[in-house]
Structure 1
Amino acid sequence: MSGLVVDAEKCVGCGRCVRTCANDGIEVVERRARVLDGCVSCGMCVDACPVGALAVERDESGADTSGYRDIWVFSQVGADGVVLPVALELVGKGRELADERGCRLVAVLGEHSDADDANARALAAAGADEVLRTCDDRLAHTDVECYAAWLCALALERRPEVILYGATNFGRELAPRVAVTLQTGLTADCTILEMDRERGLLQQTRPAFGGNLMATIVCPNHRPQMATVRPGIFPAPEPREVGEANVTDVLLDAAVYGRVNVLSREKVGQGASIADAPALVVVGRGIGSKKALARVCRLAELLGERLGCVCEIGCTRPVVEAGWLDYSHQVGQTGVSVAPRLLVSLGVSGAIQHLAGISGAETVVAVNEDADAPIFGAANYKVVGDCMTVVDELIAQLEK
């Protein structure tokens, strides 16, 4: 049995544990501490107890982890019926993990009943050994209840060792529901995934404590191990030559049904997401003022013309908070993760959350007045100087 326990012989009823607890998880009755339902076993009262009367006991036995095999990637399909790019990115990363572990990589795909084989072929070309597919109109819409029931039933039957999800709005809703049903762990918004080959432990690294440090999390006692990853964190793999995709069709239980009927869909915003931009100019507070954005936009326009692609504008969180740009432009762990071919960073210091969001960029050009700015650690080309002076010079050169 896990949780907070009280040694009645040692407890003196001083009440320091009550004053320390932030969750109304303990009380003192007749000079003895008593654990309440609000206790979350955080252990703060244990540290505060002057007589050592409190302890947190944890059940480390967990479930039987033997017999679990394979790495699964939940392959979400968009409203257009095409598998999302983040699914292909995760298949590429899953291929590396599966090779390291010496197991198979399985893409799990739910589609409407009249779907063709295009998505299965794309997943196979990205590296999946098998595509586990269900074609059913109940999966035509992103109904979390239907998808959770479907995925949990498959996992209970086939016992995957790892399941990876894209951290889309739907993925963030689906993954916790599956984790609770399967009684396993889940790490959100991972930026690094590595495999311990000997023990089969997925090492899941993500920013913690407001991005001030990187925490590596493992789930040693429960299966499947599960993690969500933001779009753009890992590069999409180059498609490989495959013949017929290895597709296994499975049925959705007849008892599963959705309680939500989708009547229509409307787009929230217009235009392409910065996550899809092949080139990006990202600005921080170092550009000086909102007025400088006009010159930055001109630079992005000229770069796009020169590169033959769309060049979008991104920004850091302080720029959004200042009202210079809206949230859809925010790049970083609390915004959008990007992976452009070219990223030009202007006046960005490089907080760890921001660096996590640009880790997928192929080439980074950074301009900052501070020679010790953390952004330079992620840059391929570094310019120490006033960023707007550099912008004006770049515009002048490109206009020639």
Structure 2
Amino acid sequence: MKALVWVEHEGGAVKDATLSAVTAASKLGEVHLIVAGSGVGEVAAAAANIAGVGKVHVSDDPSLDHALPENVAPLIVALMESHDAFVAPATANGKNIAPRVAALLDVMQISDILSVESEDIFTRPTYAGNAIATVRSRDAKKVITVRGTAFEKAAADGGNGTVETVSATGDKGLSAFVGAEIVKLERPELTSAKIIVSGGRALKDGPTFEEYILPLADKLGAAVGASRAAVDAGYVPNDYQVGQTGKIVAPEVYIAIGISGAIQHLAGMKDSKTIIAINKDEDAPIFQVADIGLVGDLFKVIPELTAKL
């Protein structure tokens, strides 16, 4: 079985989400990659160096810049003539491209998988992660998105894949890139951070969130996250949201401050290696998944903790 993996890249570098997708694809069989974009020679070279990769298909064309899915999907469908499965990380781009590929192939998509049980059996979360479904696909061609936190990252070095150039299918004229407002973070990015400090609605407002959460995160070299309630209240931007409708994370340490632990939030962080919860409500659901729990007033506890670090 041959699996074709979408390479998520930015700024000439392969993103970590791709490495997790490669691990998932390796459980299906031979792993090939597709690198698409404009000026992606450097990305292709890095992709060929990923351990376990047999071949890298490269399509370098202006129509593929910014990964516009209407232009990328037909390219992937053409490559699927010689592949059995298309595997994409469950990122914004991956979730944008995969459904279009599935529609063009007229097959069902298998979304957000947690494991590969066999060539046609997979597990995936349902009911906000409170249940795990085992699904079987009888489609001849598989279209799969991968939850990155569920798979170890493949080694970025040590591979010796061959690079093959493929032609783009052209600009379909269905969409155009207008612009992007890129937020430059001084701290680690949420989905790749080893330590995350998250704040909830209990922090009252934006200035208070910054006053208590940011110094602690800076001391720990951590990324900053937030519950949906904190984001909806305007304390922090949407990019900070952790949860079912935000970002799925699995750091080494996740510190939840003033977060009650709604199931939607737990769905996004319960795979963290160590969960530390600080909340004044001893009955808060967050304590049911926490490895370490501290019942106390965050406005007293956090300054003391930050001062001792």
**Match of residue 306 from structure 2:** 395
> Match of 1:281?
197
Alignment check: 8 A CA contact 2:54 2:161 kept:
yes
- Letter of the 2:181 partner, please give it: K
Cα distance in structure 2, aligned partners of 1:348 and 1:145 = 39
Give the CA deviation at 1:137.
Answer: 4.1
Cα distance change on mapping 1:123 and 1:370 into 2, 3 Å? farther
Q: For residue 83 of structure 2, what is the amino acid of its counterpart? A: R
Alignment-mate amino acid for residue 142 of structure 2: Q
SS class of match (1:345): strand
Q: CA deviation at 1:235?
A: 4.8
Structure with bigger gyration radius: 1
C-alpha distance in 2, partners of 1:173/1:354? 23
Change (3 A) 1:366 1:126: farther
CA contact (8 A) 1:233 1:338 kept: no
Tell me by how many angstroms 1:226 deviates: 2.2
What stretches of structure 1 move > 6 A for 4+ residues in a row? none
Give the alignment's TM-score, normalised by structure 2. Answer: 0.82
Counterpart-to-counterpart distance in 2, 1:240 and 1:373 = 44
Judging changes above 3 Å, is the alpha-carbon distance between structure 1 residues 216 and 397 closer, same or farther for their aligned structure 2 residues?
A: same
Q: Scaled by the length of structure 1, what TM-score is found?
A: 0.66
Partner residue in 1 for 2:166: 251
Task: Give % identity.
Answer: 27
Deviates more, 1:228-237 or 1:82-91: 228-237
Gaps of 5+ in 2: none
Question: Aligned partner of 1:72: which letter?
Answer: L
Q: Which residue of 2 aligns with 1:135?
A: 60
Q: Which residue of structure 2 lines up, in the alignment, with residue 108 of structure 1?
A: 34
**Structure 1 unpaired stretches of 5+:** 1-68
State yes or no: 1:304 paired with 2:221. no
Secondary structure of the residue aligned to 1:216 is strand
2:129 and 2:22 map into 1 onto residues whose CA distance is 29
- Alignment match, 2:83: 159
For residue 327 of structure 1, the aligned residue among 238, 242, 247 is: 238
Matches within 5 A, 1:1-400: 69-78=1-10, 80-95=11-26, 97-98=27-28, 103-112=29-38, 115-116=40-41, 118-122=43-47, 124-155=49-80, 157-160=81-84, 162-188=85-111, 190=112, 192-197=113-118, 200-208=119-127, 211=128, 213-216=130-133, 218-229=135-146, 234-242=151-159, 245-252=160-167, 256-259=170-173, 265-271=179-185, 273-285=189-201, 287=202, 289-290=204-205, 292-297=208-213, 300-305=214-219, 307=220, 309=221, 311-359=222-270, 361-371=272-282, 373-398=284-309
- The CA deviation string for residues 166-203 of structure 1, in whole angstroms up to 9 with x for no partner, is 23333222111111111111134x2x422233xx2231
Q: Distance in 1 between matches of 2:31 and 2:73?
A: 20
RMSD of the alignment, in Å? 3.1
Q: CA deviation at 1:394?
A: 0.5
| Partners of 2:228 and 2:281 in 1: CA distance | 19
